[in-house]
Amino acid sequence: MFETVSIPLWLVALAGILALIGLLDRIVGPGLRWFFRRKANAAIDELNTRLQLSIQPFKTTRRKSLIDGLLFDPQVVKAAEIQAREEDVPREVAMARAKRYAQEIVPAFNAYAYFSIGTRLSRWISRLLYRVRLGYADDKALSAIEEDATVVFVMNHRSNMDYVLVTYLASASATLSYAVGEWARVWLLQSIIRAMGAYFIRRDSGNLLYRRVLSRYVAMATRSGVTQAMFPEGGLSRDGLLREPKFGLLSYMIGEFNPAEDRDVVFVPVGLNYDRVIEDRVLTGAVRSSLEVSTHGADRPGGPGDEADFRLKSGSVRSFLFDLVKRYFKGELYRYGYACASFGQPISLRDWLTNEGEEDRSTMVECFGTHVMNRVGQVVPVLPVSLVATVFTSYLDRDEDGIAQDGLTELELKARAFALMKRLEAGGAHIHIPRMDRDYAISAGLRMLTLRHLVTENSGLFRVAEGEHALIHFYANSIAHLLPGTLQK
């Protein structure tokens, strides 16, 4: 009982280190946490003096508290009990699943990560790849939004660059909370995304408990005034056309809205467009693959809207990034033309319900969502490449064989483009004209297409390159909804 026991020195040292860490955590830890929390709150207070849409307390609430609030929400508890009965498992097992879902969804907003890392990185990437321009913006209407209203930016989805571009352009006014798909749930990246206030969602999940946890989080954030951004299309457009919107997330935001008691929810339509979409060949390739599958009678569904058809190969991504960095340091990196975002007139949910009348909740979300998406389509900017591509597609579509045999001279091309501009402006479209020079805008669009070998020039005649018709239609389709009656391929 009293015999000497010898233990290795390294074990004694390890025990001493662990004891010291525990002691520091008990004595010094609370003071350090208070100090850094005080600094963070001071930084947020200072940021709120500069931001048009202030950072709401909900975003700075401790993540554990938000998760606990979700778990004790009556609707989540009820959904857990239903799942426990259906699967014949203890209630505790269902609640443990709900906790995992909550931990997966709830972000961990960090103001330093958002402004010192996120916005600076988004600005650097956006300016590195594009000539970034702010198109139309109704500044007067935006500044008239009620101070306590919840603001939601609603956007079309052209590229994965959308997240980066809008974060950069909106950084002077607001911090945005995005709904991000499972593609971003990879090591390190997901921590950065959570720190920037984004939350992860499983698209098209059929799990009732998961959907209930997600819906309650979104409802809590909306009711607490968190500024959010959403892409109702759900995924990237494969053919360049605006996709049919999905209103699941929107229903979580406004499904229980009470005009008499809740703070107003204001939706800001945002239209995005690019002279070059980085993923364009992958997207149009997915359309061709789905058509081939459909032609050969495969069992699985195909089509431009099928999410399963779109896969980014890691090797292609690495190759693209390596080539980008190499050309940057060699001074051979040329930007991909213009990237533009336009901000439309805000739409107040309370005012819309007042004007339209209180509808059945099952139809209200769809009617309101369709109205908002129509407004998004109206503010999609017309850029040089989309303008010139539309001229080429209209020329091809009038050809009996679908191929331009004669081509267009530069003079003919510009004459048709000027006529197209007048037609678009008559319909209320917003055209971005670089340097306020229409002739230069058309030349810039034509130069982008010829540099990419999508359009060839021979003996003064410009033609769509063989095998590149899908890409020309992809860029023309970005503004096809602004031209009723245009043939869309």
pLDDT digits (tens, 9 = 90+) for 446-462: 999 999 999 999 888 99
Residue 6 inside a domain? The answer is no
Same domain, 112 and 202: yes
Same domain, 123 and 228: yes
Q: What is the pLDDT of residues 26-65, one digit of tens each?
A: 676 666 555 545 555 555 455 455 456 666 666 667 788 8
Q: Total structural domains in the chain?
A: 3
Residues 6+ positions from 208 with CB-CB distance below 8 Å: 79, 82, 83
Bridge partners (DSSP) of residue 456 are: 463
Q: Residue 359: its pLDDT value, please?
A: 59
pLDDT grade for 294, boundaries at 50, 70 and 90: very low
Helix intervals (H) in 196-247: 208-223
pLDDT grade for 371, boundaries at 50, 70 and 90: very high
Q: Residue 289: its pLDDT value, please?
A: 54
The single residue listed with the structure tokens 């009965």 is 85
Residue 217 inside a domain? The answer is yes
Residue 103 inside a domain? The answer is yes
Q: How far is CA 337 from each of CA 243, 305, 386, 451, rounded to the nearest angstrom?
A: 24, 27, 11, 11
Same domain, 271 and 169: yes
Say how many C-beta atoms besides its own lie within 10 A of residue 211's C-beta. Answer: 17
Inter-residue contact 385 to 475 (CB < 8 Å): yes
pLDDT grade for 146, boundaries at 50, 70 and 90: confident
Give the Cα separation of 260 and 342 in Å (integer): 32
Give the Cα separation of 148 and 150 in Å (integer): 7
Lowest mean pLDDT among 295-309, 416-430, 439-453: 295-309
pLDDT grade for 403, boundaries at 50, 70 and 90: very low
Query: Is pLDDT above 90 for 390?
Result: yes
Give the Cα separation of 78 and 73 in Å (integer): 9
Inter-residue contact 470 to 280 (CB < 8 Å): no
Q: Residue 404: its pLDDT value, please?
A: 45
Residue 166 inside a domain? The answer is yes
Q: Residue 179: its pLDDT value, please?
A: 82
- For residue 452, which of 273, 277, 238, 242 has the smallest C-alpha distance? 277
Could you list the residue range(s) of the whole structural domain that residue 80 is in? 51-278+336-380
Residue 487 inside a domain? The answer is no
Residue 139 inside a domain? The answer is yes
Same domain, 200 and 302: no
Same domain, 353 and 420: no
Element (H, E) at 40: helix 29-48
pLDDT grade for 195, boundaries at 50, 70 and 90: confident
Count of helices and strands (H, E) across the chain: 21, 11
β-bridge pairing 347-348 and 131-137: unpaired
Same domain, 251 and 315: no
Same domain, 345 and 471: no
**Phi, then psi, of 200 in degrees rounded to 5:** -90, 145
β-bridge pairing 338-343 and 199-200: unpaired
Model-level pTM? 0.81
Same domain, 301 and 202: no
Whichever domain contains 443, its CATH number is 1.10.10.10
Residue 251 inside a domain? The answer is yes
What is the average pLDDT score of the chain?
80
Residues 6+ positions from 284 with CB-CB distance below 8 Å: 238, 239, 470, 471, 474
Residue 109 inside a domain? The answer is yes
